Amino acid sequence: MLPKAELHVHIEGTFEPELIFAIAERNRVEVPYPSVEALRSAYQFSDLQSFLNLYYAGMNVLKTEQDFFDLAMAYFAKASAQGVVHSELFFDPQAHIARGVPFEVVINGLDQAVRQSKQTHGLSSSLIMCFLRDLTAESAMEVFNQSLAHGDKFVAVGLDSAEVGNPPSKFKNVFDKARAEGFVTVAHAGEEGPPEYVWQAIDLLKVSRIDHGVRSLEDSKLVEALKEQAIPLTVCPLSNVKLKVFSSMAEHNIKKMLDLGLNATVNSDDPAYFGGYVEDNFTAVRQALNLSKAEEIQLCRNSINAAFIDASEKAQYLSQLEKSAV
Ligand code: ADE
Ligand code: ZN
């Protein structure tokens, strides 16, 4: 197993049914399913929205700092066992604030886990605060202003949730402000939405990476721009198949991305819902697309190079990769 960075994982999407039930019991709240098995068997999706409905329902049981800490520590244990040496976690503060859970509770619980993961697993990590694109631009600005008191606890801002009908242009002002405050930016684009949304994420939101971006290949000029600007794509193969972006893994375009010279990486997105963590994604792609060892190493190298870490950390992880690749 090769060392790699994971750059596209929603912490709320790592919430395994067993932990949902355990935390629900601790907090004395009801899960609207009779058992772990019944909940897990509901994980059949027709598109992004059908998944998001269950994803937002699952996180309802999270109430305390301890809950967010436990959630992240459970993810770090799984990720570490799958060769992840560095991870950048998305979190969705608006989904928690709307339920009456204060921003501080969410970020403090996650921040403590980020610190602990280095000690427990030797795994470095950081947080990326996402705006929910199906809410208003005003709501995004409000949560961003609130987050500034905790600006030392996250490294970037991102954009997630229901893509179609919610273009990046809607969030230009808050992304301008985030960059002015010193944050780098990323955005989900070209998952279900058209190549135009990827253009907007690059040109208007000035993103450092595109999350998903698989529909970029429909636009050859966009492929050229992504190559020219060396913009990494955080691709999530199992997610794309589960949410019917591709009809099967054999249809997935990640190998094509490498052939085109794009800077693709492999990630798990919402591993508790999509059937696997990052190494499981590598295994699925390897089997369906006959990836060579050299291509797999390239995907891992891309992930380390695309991480928001300093040059000395990158050099250290890259040398770890080159050593284990022989
Ligand atoms: N939130 C959690 N997972 C997501 C995905 N794959 N796309 C958009 N928003 C998400
Ligand atoms: Zn995602």
Whether 78 maps to a domain, the answer reads: yes
Q: Is residue 162 classed exposed, middle or buried when 0-12, 13-18 and 19+ CB atoms within 10 A define those classes?
A: middle
Average pLDDT of the residues of the chain: 98
Q: Is there a domain that residue 325 lies in?
A: no
Kindly state the average pLDDT of the residues 81-95. Answer: 98
pLDDT of residue 120: 98
What's the pTM value of the predicted model, to 2 decimals? Answer: 0.98
Taking CA atoms only, the protein residue closest to ligand 1 atom 6 is 269
Structure tokens at 207: 């993103």
Note the ligand closest to the C-alpha atom of 192. Answer: 1
Nearest CA residue ID for atom 9, ligand 1: 161
| 236: three-class secondary structure by DSSP | coil
- Which pLDDT value is given to residue 272? 98
160 Cβ inside 6 Å of ligand 1 = yes
Residue 190 Cβ inside 6 Å of ligand 1? The answer reads no
CATH number for position 286? 3.20.20.140
Please name which ligand lies nearest the alpha carbon of 159.
1
Q: Is residue 259 part of a domain?
A: yes
Ligand 2 geometric centre to CA of 269 (Å):
5
> 157 lies in a domain?
yes
DSSP state at residue 269:
B
Asked, for residue 326, whether it belongs to a domain, the answer is: no
pLDDT at residue 39 in the model: 97
> Best mutation site among 75, 164, 270 for ligand 1, i.e. most ligand atoms within 8 A of its Cβ?
270
Percent of the chain with pLDDT over 70: 100
Query: Ligand 1 pocket, 8 CB below 6 A?
Result: no
Mean per-residue pLDDT, 62-81: 98
Distances (CA, A) of 138 to 131, 166, 178, 279: 11, 14, 14, 38
Whole-angstrom distance, CA of residue 159 vs CA of residue 164? 13
- Residue 283 pLDDT greater than 90, yes or no: yes
pLDDT (tens digit, 9 = 90+) per residue, 168-195?
Answer: 999 999 999 999 999 999 999 999 999 9
pLDDT-derived band of residue 326, with 50, 70 and 90 as boundaries?
confident
> Structurally, how many domains does the chain consist of?
1
| pLDDT interval class at 143 (50, 70, 90) | very high
What are the CA-CA distances from residue 206 to residues 36, 157, 173, 200, 236 (Å)?
A: 42, 12, 12, 8, 22
Given a cut of 90, is residue 117 above it in pLDDT? yes
Give domain status of residue 320, yes or no: no
Q: Is residue 323 part of a domain?
A: no
Q: The domain containing residue 245 runs over which residues?
A: 4-308
* 234 assigned to some structural domain: yes
**Cβ of 48 less than 6 Å from ligand 1:** yes
Token code pair at residue 168: 């990046």
